[in-house]
Amino acid sequence: NYEYMNAVIRARGTKLLGRGELRSLAFGTMEKLEIFLLGSMYSERYREQLALSTLSPLRRVENALSAGISDQLKGMAALARGEAILYLDLFLSGGDLYNGRIALRSIWSGSRSSSPPLWHRYALLDAAFYDDLWLRCPKAADAAVRCHEEDHGLASILGEAFRQIHGSNDLASAERRLFTGWLDYWGRRLSPFHDCNAGRMKEFLGRIADTWNFSIWLRCFMGGEEECLPEKTFISGGWGLSREKLASSKSTSALFSDSPWEGLFREEGERKPAENQRAFHLSFLEWQRDLYRKNLLGIDVAIGFGARVLSEWQDLSMLSAGLSIGIPPEDMERHLRPED
* The pLDDT of residue 264 is above 70: no
Residue-wise pLDDT for 63-76, tens only, equals 999 999 999 999 99
Q: Give the per-residue pLDDT at 223.
A: 60
> Which range is least confidently modeled, 56-60, 86-90, 174-178, 253-257?
253-257
Q: Where are the alpha helices (DSSP H) in 151-267?
A: 153-168, 171-190, 196-217, 230-233, 243-248, 252-256
pLDDT at res. 269: 53
pLDDT at 224: 58
The answer to whether 297 and 246 have CB atoms below 8 angstroms apart is: no
Question: Can you tell me the mean pLDDT for 16-39?
Answer: 94
Confidence tier at 47 by pLDDT (50, 70, 90): very high
d(CA 153, CA 141) in angstroms, rounded, equals 18
In the predicted structure, residue 230 carries a pLDDT above the cut 70: no
Cα Rg for the chain, rounded, in angstroms? 21
pLDDT computed for residue 254 by the predictor: 83
pLDDT band at residue 220 under the 50/70/90 scheme: confident
Q: pLDDT, tens digit, for every residue of 271-306? A: 677 778 888 888 899 999 999 999 999 999 999 999
pLDDT at 252: 82
- Chain mean pLDDT for the chain: 91
Lowest mean pLDDT among 24-33, 173-182, 221-230: 221-230
Which backbone phi and psi does 102 adopt, to 5 degrees?
-60, -45
Q: How confident is the model over 131-159, as pLDDT tens digits?
A: 999 999 999 999 999 999 999 999 999 99
C-alpha 54/C-alpha 56 separation (Å) is 7
Whether this model's pTM surpasses 0.85:
yes
Task: Tally the residues of the chain.
Answer: 340
pLDDT at 42 > cutoff 70: yes
SS3 236: coil
